[in-house]
Amino acid sequence: MIQFSGKTVFSGVAFAKAFLYLKADLAVDATPASDSGVELEAFRAAIKTADGQLEEIYKKTLREIGEEEARIIDVQRMMLVDGDFLEAVEAVITGEHGNAAYAVDKTGRQFYELFAGLDDPYMKARAPDIADISRRLTAVLLNKRTDFTLGEASVIIADDLTPSDTLSLDKKYIAAFVTRGGSTNSHTAILARILKIPSIVQADIPLDKKFNALDAAVDGHEGIIYLEPDKNVKERLKERARKDKAEADSLESVRGLPTVTKSGKKVELAANIGSVEDLKAVFEGDAEGIGLFRSEFLFLGRNSAPAEDEQFEAYKAAALALGGKRVVIRTLDIGADKQAAYLGCEAEENPALGLRAIRLCFRMPQLFVTQLRALYRAAAFGKIAVMFPMIASLWELRRCKEIAAEAKNSLIKEGITTGEIELGIMIETPAAALCAGELAAEADFFSVGTNDLTQYTLAIDRQSAKLDKFLDTHHPALLKLLKMIVESAHRAHIWAGICGELAADKEMTARFIEWGYDELSVSPAFILDMRKRIREME
């Protein structure tokens, strides 16, 4: 028996055969091409083929997992039409007479190094996507396959896995992931948590072919993979697996019960979703409402913005499905890691700090008004609340309320039925947290986006594995801001919630309830476990 260790992404226990994934050799020939025109045609044909492959993965992901996860692939599809990348490849073909595969490989490496060396979090996060796209195009041009299939339950061992690697697999055969690279915040790590697959990253395991097909056991609780585990390890992990199953089964005992501590402190447990397709997960998770409907996913993966009626139907469906429970819908949050090419936004050196979210809506008021009209129409069919993202100043909130009033009045004048809406803000900037008192006097509620609030407070790219040791989600500065926010809300007699990943943190859940947060909104898969824990708290 041999064992290796790494960082746990998702706990749990898995037993299966080891599947060693070694990337296909895509060595390219640097010999100049005799006809640049032919190579250009081959390159353009490869783009269409690669886009078709990604479209199939996108549809599969949308059908089996959800729209938010499918967006990962949508980002890559957008890169296939990126003018700078395409022009650079074609320049190598025409200027250096390079063959298409060589040109893609060379350009891909150059762009990867360029993006990986940037300081901006969004741009740096695109480096792996560029590598993935370049590799896919090169494989098409060389007529080689880069994907792989699983015929049985397997513990996948790899140097790293790209989003398209992970999403293209049949999830019923994935017993566990173990990778040498990656981070706890990578796309693959996030998917592992969503799919509830035991996963380990940054493992010290060598990629040795002799490991392939060996019996493997993964202890996701301790971050250890065992190859050819002995009897004692097997028995210990089987017992742990039995305990895990018993704990999972026990969660059903709290289905339908109120989320309240033993001392009587009640909190609403809501769900974060990205589309109407995610409503099934809301009911399966037994959520008490929707605390974050990411409306921007209606705007992605298309060539033009959704019309008012299309948006209305989506928001109406959510309102009706929840049957009177509150649905908090975030207005358009495009920018940073979510881009829609048809909006024509210029490239920015710091997109995470640039024209995004409410700033973009102010720049494109008709886009904003159309969405608000759809929201007011949908509010006639249920309890809808709207929150504005990326608010940093009081004047921004006031302007949002003015535009919302104008949108509602325009509907009334047209004789269209509207409903009442709570208008709140997403607190995700330190500025908003520090001005929470003034903002609370004008808002109907607060919902804290802890992911961005942490990133902006600590000045850390949370996607970077190199910065893991600096990403302290319990940092004293962050805790002070979080406590200040809820205190300011309650002084103004409005409710406050948490809609970031930190809401599911076991230690932080207890603190949030102690501080008086009224709502916690998380992935639907976490709700029953959180309810059980909260009901066991004093």
pLDDT band, residue 340 (cuts 50/70/90): low
On whether both 415 and 524 belong to a single domain, the answer is: yes
Per-position b or e across 235-267, b if 16+ CB within 10 A of its CB: eebeebbeebeeeeeebeebeeeebebeeeeeb
Domain end residue (candidates: 197, 221, 251): 251
Share of the chain above pLDDT 90, in %: 52
d(CA 330, CA 469): 31
Q: How confident is the model at residue 185 (pLDDT cuts 50, 70, 90)?
A: low
Q: Terminus-to-terminus CA distance in the chain, angstroms?
A: 44
Question: Are 213 and 160 part of one and the same domain?
Answer: yes
Residues 329 and 420 occupy one common structural domain: yes
Among the options 345, 361, 435, 499, which is catalytic?
A: 499
499 classed as catalytic: yes
Indicate whether 10 and 67 sit together in one domain: no
351 and 336 in contact (C-beta within 8 Å)? yes
Model pTM score: 0.68
Query: Which secondary-structure segment (H or E) carries 51?
Result: helix 36-64
Which has more confidence, 339 or 318? Answer: 318
Domain that holds residue 46: 36-141
With respect to residue 247, please indicate whether it lies within any of the assigned structural domains: yes
- Residues 399 and 487 occupy one common structural domain: yes
Which residue, of 109, 126, 141, is where some domain finishes?
141
Look at residues 123, 143, 125 and name the one whose alpha carbon lies nearest to residue 24: 143
* Residue 352: inside a domain: yes
> Which residues 6+ apart lie within 8 Å of 385 measured at CB?
326, 327, 328, 329, 421, 422, 423, 424, 444, 445
Indicate whether 337 and 409 sit together in one domain. yes
Q: How confident is the model at residue 347 (pLDDT cuts 50, 70, 90)?
A: low
Taking Cα atoms as reference points, which of 186, 193, 160 lies closest to residue 463? 186
Q: CA-CA distance, 273 to 289, in Å (whole number)?
A: 11
Residue with tokens 């004293």: 476
Segment 422-479, tens digit of pLDDT: 999 999 999 999 999 999 999 999 999 998 899 889 887 755 656 767 878 889 999 9
Q: Which residue has the higher pLDDT, 187 or 166?
A: 166
The pLDDT tens digits for 15-33 are 999 999 887 777 788 888 7
- Co-location of 205 and 319 in the same domain: no
Q: Is residue 354 part of a domain?
A: yes
Mean pLDDT computed over 245-254: 87
Residue 29 included in any domain: no
Q: What digits encode the pLDDT tens for the residues 201-237?
A: 999 999 998 999 999 999 999 999 999 999 999 999 9
What is the per-residue pLDDT for 198? 92
Q: Total structural domains in the chain?
A: 3
260 found inside a domain: no
For residue 419, being part of any structural domain is answered with: yes
Among the residue ranges 67-76, 133-142, 401-410, the one predicted with the least confidence is 67-76
315: confidence class by pLDDT, cuts 50, 70, 90: very high
CATH of the domain at 325: 3.20.20.60
Strands 13-21 and 290-294, sheet pairing = unpaired
- Statement: residue 341 has pLDDT above 70: no
Whole-number Å distance between alpha carbons of 43 and 104: 8
Phi, psi of 254 (to 5 degrees): -105, 5
**Of 187, 345, 361, 435, which residue is the catalytic one?**
187
The confidence score (pLDDT) of residue 250 equals: 85
Buried b (16+ CB within 10 A) or exposed e, 421-434: bbbbbbbbbbebbe
Whether 240 shows a pLDDT value over 80: the answer reads: yes
Q: Could you give the percent of the chain with pLDDT greater than 70? A: 91
**Tokens found for residue 450:** 């802890």
Residues 327 and 426 in one domain: yes
> Which residues are CB-neighbours of 88 under 8 A, at least 6 positions away?
107, 110, 111
Note whether 524 and 403 are same-domain residues: yes
Q: How confident is the model at residue 280 (pLDDT cuts 50, 70, 90)?
A: confident
Tokens encoding 145: 């396959």
Query: Span 385-414, mean pLDDT?
Result: 96
Q: What is the per-residue pLDDT for 120?
A: 55
Q: Are 243 and 518 in contact (CB under 8 A)?
A: no
| pLDDT at residue 122 is higher than 70 | no
Residue 186 identity (one-letter amino acid): S
* Boundary-marking domain end, from 141, 175, 210: 141
- 95 contacts: CB under 8 Å, gap ≥ 6: none
Rounded to 5 degrees, what are φ and ψ at 269? -105, 110
Q: pLDDT averaged over the chain?
A: 87
**Average pLDDT rounded to a whole number, residues 284-294:** 93
Nearest alpha-carbon partner for 11 in 274, 162, 189 = 189
Same domain, 225 and 298: no
CA distances from 143 to 77, 78, 100, 139, 492 (A): 20, 23, 12, 6, 64
CATH of the domain at 92: 1.10.274.10
Both 18 and 48 in one domain: the answer is no
Tokens encoding 392: 């940093």
Whether 257 shows a pLDDT value over 70: the answer reads yes
Give CB contacts under 8 A, 24+ apart, made by 49-52: 49/140, 50/80, 50/133, 50/136, 50/137, 50/140, 51/77, 51/80
For position 172, what pLDDT does the model report? Answer: 82
Residue 27 lies in a domain: no
Residues 125 and 166 in one domain: no
416 assigned to some structural domain: yes
Kindly report the CATH number assigned to the domain that includes residue 225.
3.50.30.10
Q: Is 475 a catalytic residue?
A: no
Q: Return the ∠ at Cα 246 (arms to 242 and 250), rounded to 5°.
A: 170
State pLDDT tens for residues 485-519. 999 999 999 999 999 878 888 889 999 999 999 99
What is the per-residue pLDDT across 92-117, written as a single tens digit (0 to 9) for each? 998 888 899 999 999 998 988 887 77
Q: Which long-range contacts (CB under 8 A, 24 or more apart) does 274-277 make?
A: 274/66, 274/67, 274/68, 274/71, 275/66, 275/67, 275/68, 275/314, 276/314, 276/317, 276/318, 277/62, 277/66, 277/67
